A = this chain, B = another copy of it.
Amino acid sequence: MNQPSLLHQVRVVLLQTSHPGNLGAVARAMKVMGLLDLVLVEPKCAIDDEARARASGAVDVLNNARICASLEEALADTVLAAACTSRRRDLPHPAFTPRQAAPELLRMVQSGPVAVVFGSETFGLSNEQLMKCRWLLNIPTNPEYASLNLGAAVQVLAYELRCTLEDAVLPLPEFQLASHAAQESLLSEMEKVLVEIDFLDPANPKRLMPRLRRFFAKAGLEDEEVAIWRGILNAARGGSRRKQGSGG
């Protein structure tokens, strides 16, 4: 894959955006840095004249934007979802600045699409939405006024990706990263097995699954590793089933 087309694999996912002007600003911010893949999840506004005016020469990015009914749908084929947020301390995710993350994101897009996820202008990202993302991206800001506009946040991210691409010779990834759907499915299977083997109490789950999510996010699951873990889960469940089957 040639260098600029790596940027075509970076997906910008906007959740519940309410201002058409921001849609246009995001499209322009993307295209000016070479990004093209825009996905709108439950948009709260239409792509109207204001959006098109702000998009300027990037109206094609707006017109090609895909609209999804859920974040899950927007992320299904991605190999990594990184949430852009100013939150940090209360979350278990690995967190990076755009500068720290950009080389790794560009390495990962060689396995498949990478999503950068932005919350609504008013409410940001909910905990539930954040938990579907594996990384956090924290853009450095003025602690006394950290309210970055949506288009400006996308601009910073896109700029950082382009600069990194222009500066770097990127090593190819050794292994195929697992898709979002495959990762979610593994974690959901793991949760079931942990209940079956009496390690996870569904009535009192505490922070176990968020901690495991964080652990798997740090590792960057690959396809072959998904297969290994599925095998281990089946073996663990086998023990547990046989135990129950024998009336133990």
Chain A residues near B (Cβ < 8 Å): 4, 25, 28-29, 31-34, 54, 56-58, 88-89, 95-97, 99-100, 138-142, 144-149, 151-152, 155-156, 159, 162-163, 166, 168-170, 172-173, 194, 196-199, 208, 211-212, 215-216, 218-220, 224-225, 228, 231-232, 235-236, 238-240, 242-243, 245-248
Contacts and interface: CB of A to CB of B under 8 A. Distances in A.
Contact of A246 (B58, B99, B140, B248): B248
Given A31-B142, A218-B218, A235 B194 contact: yes
- Copy tally for this chain in the complex stands at 2
A145 B58 contact: yes
Nearest to A162: B140
Given A32-B147, A33-B141, A99 B228 contact: no
Contacts of A246: 243, 246-248
A215 B99 CA distance: 25
B139 A159 contact: yes
Contacts of A89: 173
A236 B238 contact: no
A145 B89 CA distance: 38
A197 B235 contact: yes
Contact of A148 (B32, B194, B197): B32
Nearest to A58: B145
A91 to B, nearest CB: 9
